[in-house]
Amino acid sequence: MTESPEAGSFFKKWAMRQYWRMQQSQAVVSLLLWGTTITLLVWPLIEWRFAAGCTDGPCFSEEILGISSTYFALAGIFFTVMFSVLLIGFLYDQVFSLWTEWRSVDMERNPFATYALAPIWLMTIALQSEVLKRTSPDDEEMVKQAEWCLKWCETYTEGEMFARAVQRWDKDMGETPTFWFTSDEAMQRARQTTFEDEV
């Protein structure tokens, strides 16, 4: 007996939800692991300063208030690492404001934030352009710009993103109509596109 698509989808969604939950704690867990690792790497280098045999340089008592000074030293190293990370974060944010430049570069390198059209934006711009074109037939300049936008939309019906959208629309809602800004041939090419990650 084969597994139903609903069961497969449920399992995948459940698995991805657990993965998402692990990702949410990743920053905190990795910071704690990093702090612990550095603490344990540094400790052997200064451990002798807390031993009874320490005779050279700054030496410390083996016990503080009846508690082994090892615990205080380890805690001191750990919180120094945490403070250093916080200090770097503060400098990154408040002093150098590098996050603003990072966002700028991120947007510049994202084609869908500059010149490319994802299917949802493609449909939105095409609809708005067509409405503008029909409501302003006497404004030649506006009609010309609306037609340019429709040509822009038509160009991106040849891309993988649109092909993925059409195939999904066909699957979820039946055959997708040929939109006014594209052609039957483009729609057919979108349906026939294969994706490397699904082969």
Backbone angles phi, psi at 64, to 5 degrees: -130, 115
33-83 pLDDT tens trace? 999 999 999 999 988 888 877 878 788 888 888 888 889 999 999 999 999
**CB contact at 8 A, 90 and 99:** no
159-178 pLDDT tens trace? 999 999 999 999 999 999 99
80-123 pLDDT tens trace? 999 999 999 999 999 988 888 889 999 999 999 999 999 999 99
Residues 143-157, mean pLDDT to the nearest whole number: 96
112 token code pair? 């869908």
Q: Which of 126, 124, 112 is nearest to 160 (CA)?
A: 112
